[in-house]
């Protein structure tokens, strides 16, 4: 779906009639409660059809009618205390839009203190203050200082306690109450702000004002820790944007290269990338050769040699030679920008487990409120001769139950883990389009691999040189002479092996193609031909024909070199398996996942490659045949992942439970399938499965931790063992713990 940004007024929007999607970066959003309030508020805006919120990405996407005004999203968020600016993965930090209250006074939100201005939230954004200088930290410090002052004043002048502690409580409570009222008006009456406000006011009325003020400070500290943890989670993937240099050396009109902003590079421009420089944009090498470190983008640790015609990615590092590169993608469309955009959009799409938790949370908080009301009323009523002290005691316990009831830890338990898993994968070149894909990968039972370009390198290599009497060098020189002007993959393979052996091919004359047969010409005055075994059959002896047939049976393409009509040698070529193909398939076997090959190639070639890799091959398949095999496997109860190049495998990729495109950051690899492997390693399929299973285990741990802590403290609170302080620690502590547990996924490397 087309992505736009909303820096326009209604008049601009009316110029378009199609529905649109707009994405915003939101400042101050750091917990599940934030996401729920934002989603509820925006769904009430006329013209907005769908809302997707990513706490970890700090983004909100809305599907809306074309006539939606520019501040239709900004204004409701400003009312709730959040700032918003249009999202642009590699844009410069823009001044905040002043419509809808963005530039108004600061708002504080449930201890989520927010300035109404917004930031891009990229680490390199100069407008983003460190967390200790943010409004949230200032409010926490102010509330803590007020509590400390009230305590000290109470010790020195005891009679001041009756007004010092209420004032200290008000410092933090007033902003929280304002946000509670705003959330209730926006459709979220049971927010954590509401629960905190009711608990604090209730404690004030029963004389527990000192404890209420202390609990509020603990609450603000917990929320501050949530914000720090959320910022750490979202900084991981966005840190990729810092890999793109700010400037580039551009060549124009034959003049010396000059420095220009990288964000302004146009498609077709030519830039100079010096040794040690980062590549400023995606492009094609026009001249020069060098090794390029692609680990920042693909996770591949070994630098790749690059020469004329090779692709380079923005953010990669040129090692040892100057390269002239023609730009093929604008800054907002380069590989890093697309990776960031892909992961942020994936974080906004909810996984099945996350949707289940959200539905549960809708009933959980109102249920807690009902339980608190029953705790406050029922025990005193059933107690014979109960007095005011009994009512006060159970009312106090009910207030503690309210604080336990915040669903933040539960709501954030799943998306925090999924976001960390997606970010971890992106940094390793494993791109997953959403939590649903991440969940599904762990349940896969069968992987169907394409052959060419997936299990194999995708280009033929010379595997055998069999001269009949002469030397390999003489045979290679003659064959390379015929192929010197060809760009056919087989020709490039022969030329490559000749170059690798230092053989300079002589000049060939009268070179002509023989349709369906091969090439012929004259080299050194002698007639030379390079033909298929079928075309050369009359010139082969029985022994030579038998050797050629054996090579063909091994899945190799065999060419016969003729000199003056006499066979002088055989050249065999084959698209060889990737170096890690066998290792990758064995890793899947260890994970109890079966692998098979589906290819349109000949049975001989497919069986030869499959035999080396230890998989079953299905050959001579058209795209519809690959689709049929996937459907048959699914009908037998298998959960199937299809791995291919994203073009001729498109039907099977779409039909599979998970479609995985093998590629190097191309549009197909990033957009066709459910997932993409950037650096083309077969072993990364098993790595994806392992990441999925590890993430799901983390989610189960988080859910158990969130519900377990709340259950324990709910029981101990009702029994009178714990009070307000442990209740708030159970809430904010659980949120911080599940977030910290999810962050462990960011550092997983295998």
Q: What is the pLDDT of residues 596-630, one digit of tens each?
A: 999 888 788 888 899 999 999 998 887 788 889 99
Q: What is the pLDDT of residue 599?
A: 87
Q: What is the pLDDT of residues 231-272, one digit of tens each?
A: 665 665 566 677 788 889 998 877 888 999 988 899 999 999
Structure tokens that stand for 122 in this block:
């990229």
Q: Which segment, 205-219, 298-312, 643-657, is predicted with the most confidence on average? A: 205-219
DSSP string, 386-424: --HHHHHHHHHHHHHHHHHT--HHHHHHHHHHHHHHHHH
Of residues 17 and 658, the one with the higher pLDDT is 658
3-state secondary structure of 149: helix
For residue 527, which of 500, 565, 555 has the smallest C-alpha distance? 565
Q: What is the pLDDT of residue 6?
A: 37
Give me the mean pLDDT over the 56-79 stretch: 81
Give me the mean pLDDT over the 376-399 stretch: 79
Question: In this structure, are strands 616-618 and 594-598 parallel, antiparallel, or unpaired?
Answer: parallel
Give me the mean pLDDT over the 409-431 stretch: 82
Q: What is the pLDDT of residue 187?
A: 84
Q: How confident is the model at residue 93 (pLDDT cuts 50, 70, 90)?
A: very low
Give me the mean pLDDT over the 71-81 stretch: 86
Q: What is the pLDDT of residues 58-69, one digit of tens each?
A: 788 888 887 777
Residues 6+ apart with CB under 8 A from 632: none
Q: 505: which DSSP letter? A: P
Of residues 361 and 163, the one with the higher pLDDT is 163
What is the C-alpha end-to-end distance of the chain, expressed in Å? 33
Q: How confident is the model at residue 714 (pLDDT cuts 50, 70, 90)?
A: confident
Asked if pLDDT for residue 701 goes beyond 90, the answer is yes
Cα 582 to Cα 228: distance, rounded to the nearest angstrom: 43
Give me the mean pLDDT over the 733-743 stretch: 82
Q: What is the pLDDT of residues 276-289, one digit of tens each?
A: 899 999 999 999 98
Evaluate whether 327 touches 313 at the Cβ level (below 8 Å). no
Q: What is the pLDDT of residue 131?
A: 66
Active site residues: 450
With b for 16 or more beta-carbon neighbours within 10 A and e for fewer, the 132-167 pattern comes to eebbbbebbebbbebbeebbebbeeeeeebeebbbe
Cα 230 to Cα 213: distance, rounded to the nearest angstrom: 26
Place of tokens 């809305």: 62
Q: What is the pLDDT of residue 647?
A: 56
328, burial (CB in 10 Å: exposed 0-12, middle 13-18, buried 19+): middle
Q: Which segment, 79-83, 225-229, 355-359, 662-666, is predicted with the most confidence on average? A: 79-83
Cα 403 to Cα 202: distance, rounded to the nearest angstrom: 12
Interior CA angle at 604 toward 599 and 608, to 5°?
Answer: 85
Q: What is the pLDDT of residue 127?
A: 37
Asked if pLDDT for residue 94 goes beyond 50, the answer is no
Q: What is the pLDDT of residue 230?
A: 64
Using only C-alpha atoms, the chain has a radius of gyration, in whole angstroms, of 33
Distances in Å between the alpha carbon of 655 and those of 300, 309, 448? Answer: 30, 34, 12
Cα 717 to Cα 73: distance, rounded to the nearest angstrom: 41
Evaluate whether 84 touches 28 at the Cβ level (below 8 Å). no
Asked if pLDDT for residue 106 goes beyond 50, the answer is no
Q: 110: which DSSP letter? A: T
CB atoms within 10 A of CB 326: 16
Cα 635 to Cα 484: distance, rounded to the nearest angstrom: 51
Q: What is the pLDDT of residue 735?
A: 78
Cα 476 to Cα 504: distance, rounded to the nearest angstrom: 10
Of residues 648 and 573, the one with the higher pLDDT is 573
Q: What is the pLDDT of residue 273?
A: 93
Q: Which of 85-94, 229-238, 631-640, 653-662 is the least confident region?
A: 85-94
Q: Does the reported pTM lie above 0.85?
A: no
Q: What is the pLDDT of residues 150-173, one digit of tens each?
A: 989 888 888 888 888 899 989 988
Q: How confident is the model at residue 436 (pLDDT cuts 50, 70, 90)?
A: confident
Distances in Å between the alpha carbon of 251 and those of 244, 257, 314, 432? Answer: 19, 5, 18, 37
Distances in Å between the alpha carbon of 715 and those of 166, 396, 727? Answer: 30, 14, 11
Q: What is the pLDDT of residue 284?
A: 94
Q: What is the pLDDT of residue 117?
A: 31
For residue 482, which of 444, 509, 455, 445 has the smallest C-alpha distance? 509
Element (H, E) at 677: strand 675-677
Asked if pLDDT for residue 101 goes beyond 70, the answer is no
Of residues 19 and 329, the one with the higher pLDDT is 329
Q: What is the pLDDT of residues 483-524, one digit of tens each?
A: 887 777 788 889 989 988 998 889 989 888 887 788 899 998
Cα 339 to Cα 297: distance, rounded to the nearest angstrom: 9
Of residues 39 and 127, the one with the higher pLDDT is 39
For residue 149, which of 122, 173, 170 has the smallest C-alpha distance? 170
For residue 315, which of 334, 288, 290, 301 has the smallest C-alpha distance? 334
Asked if pLDDT for residue 27 goes beyond 50, the answer is yes
3-state secondary structure of 125: coil
Residues 6+ apart with CB under 8 A from 359: none
Asked if pLDDT for residue 349 goes beyond 70, the answer is no
Q: How confident is the model at residue 685 (pLDDT cuts 50, 70, 90)?
A: very high
Q: What is the pLDDT of residue 109?
A: 37
Q: What is the pLDDT of residue 271?
A: 94
Q: How confident is the model at residue 300 (pLDDT cuts 50, 70, 90)?
A: low
Q: How confident is the model at residue 16 (pLDDT cuts 50, 70, 90)?
A: very low
Q: Which segment, 24-28, 285-289, 425-429, is predicted with the most confidence on average? A: 285-289
Evaluate whether 582 touches 613 at the Cβ level (below 8 Å). yes
Distances in Å between the alpha carbon of 453 and those of 41, 299, 311, 324, 518? Answer: 48, 19, 17, 28, 25
Asked if pLDDT for residue 103 goes beyond 80, the answer is no
Asked if pLDDT for residue 102 goes beyond 80, the answer is no
For residue 310, which of 318, 359, 19, 746 has the smallest C-alpha distance? 318
Place of tokens 């059933």: 382
Q: How confident is the model at residue 108 (pLDDT cuts 50, 70, 90)?
A: very low
Give me the mean pLDDT over the 216-243 stretch: 70
Q: Across the chain, what does the average pLDDT equal?
A: 80
Of residues 148 and 71, the one with the higher pLDDT is 148
Q: What is the pLDDT of residues 166-198, one digit of tens each?
A: 999 899 889 888 888 988 888 888 777 888 888
3-state secondary structure of 352: helix
- In the chain, % of residues over pLDDT 70: 83
Q: 302: which DSSP letter? A: S
Distances in Å between the alpha carbon of 273 and those of 189, 281, 330, 335? Answer: 57, 10, 17, 17
Q: In Å, how far from its chain's centre is CA 597?
A: 28
Of residues 67 and 385, the one with the higher pLDDT is 67
């Amino acid at each position: 779906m087309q992505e736009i940004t909303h820096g326009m007024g209604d008049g601009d929007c009316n110029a378009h009639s199609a529905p649109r999607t707009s994405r915003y970066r939101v400042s101050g959003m750091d917990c599940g409660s934030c996401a729920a309030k934002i989603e509820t508020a925006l769904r009430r805006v006329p013209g907005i059809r769908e809302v997707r919120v990513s706490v970890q990405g700090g983004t909100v996407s809305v599907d809306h009618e074309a006539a939606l005004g520019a501040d239709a999203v900004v204004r409701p968020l400003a009312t709730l205390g959040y700032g918003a600016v249009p999202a642009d993965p590699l844009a410069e930090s823009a001044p905040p839009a002043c419509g809808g209250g963005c530039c108004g006074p600061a708002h504080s939100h449930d201890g989520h203190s927010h300035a109404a201005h917004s930031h891009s939230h990229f680490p390199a954004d100069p407008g983003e203050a460190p967390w200790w200088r943010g409004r949230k930290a200032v409010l926490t410090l102010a509330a803590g200082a007020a509590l400390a002052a009230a305590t000290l004043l109470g010790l020195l002048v005891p009679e001041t306690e009756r007004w010092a502690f209420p004032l200290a409580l008000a410092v933090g409570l007033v902003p929280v109450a304002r946000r509670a009222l705003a959330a209730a008006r926006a459709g979220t009456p049971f927010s954590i702000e509401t629960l905190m406000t009711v608990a604090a006011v209730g404690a004030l009325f029963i004389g527990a004002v000192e404890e209420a003020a202390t609990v509020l400070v603990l609450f603000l500290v917990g929320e501050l820790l949530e914000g720090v943890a959320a910022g750490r989670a979202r900084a991981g993937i966005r840190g990729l944007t810092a890999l793109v240099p700010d400037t580039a050396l551009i060549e124009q009109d034959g003049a010396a290269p000059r420095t220009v902003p990288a964000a302004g590079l146009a498609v077709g421009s030519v830039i100079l990338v010096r040794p040690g420089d980062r590549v400023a944009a995606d492009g094609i090498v026009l001249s020069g050769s060098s090794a390029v470190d692609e680990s920042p983008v693909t996770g591949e640790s070994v630098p790749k040699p690059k020469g004329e015609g090779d692709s380079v990615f923005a953010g990669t590092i040129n090692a040892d030679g100057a390269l002239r590169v023609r730009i093929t993608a604008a800054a907002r469309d380069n590989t890093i920008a697309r990776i960031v955009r892909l992961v942020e959009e994936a974080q906004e799409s909810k996984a099945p487990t996350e949707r289940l938790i959200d539905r549960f949370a809708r009933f959980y908080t109102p249920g807690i409120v009902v339980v608190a009301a029953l705790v406050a009323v029922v025990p005193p009523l059933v107690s014979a001769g109960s007095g005011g002290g009994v009512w006060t005691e159970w009312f106090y316990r009910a207030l503690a139950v309210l604080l336990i009831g915040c669903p933040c830890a539960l709501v954030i338990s799943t998306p925090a883990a999924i976001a960390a898993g997606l970010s971890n994968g992106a940094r390793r070149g494993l791109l997953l389009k959403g939590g649903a894909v991440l969940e599904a990968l762990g349940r896969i039972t069968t992987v169907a691999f394409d052959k060419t370009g997936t299990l194999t390198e995708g280009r033929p290599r010379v595997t055998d040189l069999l001269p009949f009497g002469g030397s390999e060098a003489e045979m290679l020189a003659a064959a390379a002479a015929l192929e010197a002007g060809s760009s056919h993959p087989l020709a490039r393979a022969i030329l490559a092996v000749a170059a690798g052996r230092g053989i300079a091919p002589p000049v060939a004359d009268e070179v002509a193609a023989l349709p369906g047969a091969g090439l012929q010409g004259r080299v050194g005055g002698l007639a030379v031909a390079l033909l298929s075994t079928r075309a050369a059959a009359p010139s082969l002896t029985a022994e030579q024909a038998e050797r050629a047939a054996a090579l063909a049976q091994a899945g190799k393409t065999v060419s016969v070199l003729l000199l003056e009509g006499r066979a002088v040698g055989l050249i065999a070529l084959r698209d060889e398996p990737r170096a890690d193909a066998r290792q990758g398939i064995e890793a899947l076997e260890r994970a109890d996942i079966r692998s098979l090959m589906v290819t349109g190639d000949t049975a001989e070639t497919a069986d030869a490659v499959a035999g080396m890799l230890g998989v079953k091959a299905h050959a001579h398949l058209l795209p519809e045949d690959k689709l049929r095999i996937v459907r048959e496997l699914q009908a037998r109860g298998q959960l199937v992942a299809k791995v291919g190049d994203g073009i001729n495998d498109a039907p099977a990729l779409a039909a599979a439970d998970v479609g995985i495109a093998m590629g190097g950051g191309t549009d197909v690899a990033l957009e066709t399938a459910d997932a993409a492997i950037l650096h083309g390693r077969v072993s990364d399929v098993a790595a994806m499965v392992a990441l999925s299973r590890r993430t799901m285990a983390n989610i189960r741990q988080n859910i158990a931790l969130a519900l377990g802590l709340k259950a324990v403290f709910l029981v101990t609170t009702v029994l009178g063992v714990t009070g307000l302080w442990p209740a708030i620690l159970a809430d904010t502590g659980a949120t911080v713990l599940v977030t910290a547990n999810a962050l462990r996924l960011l550092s997983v490397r295998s």
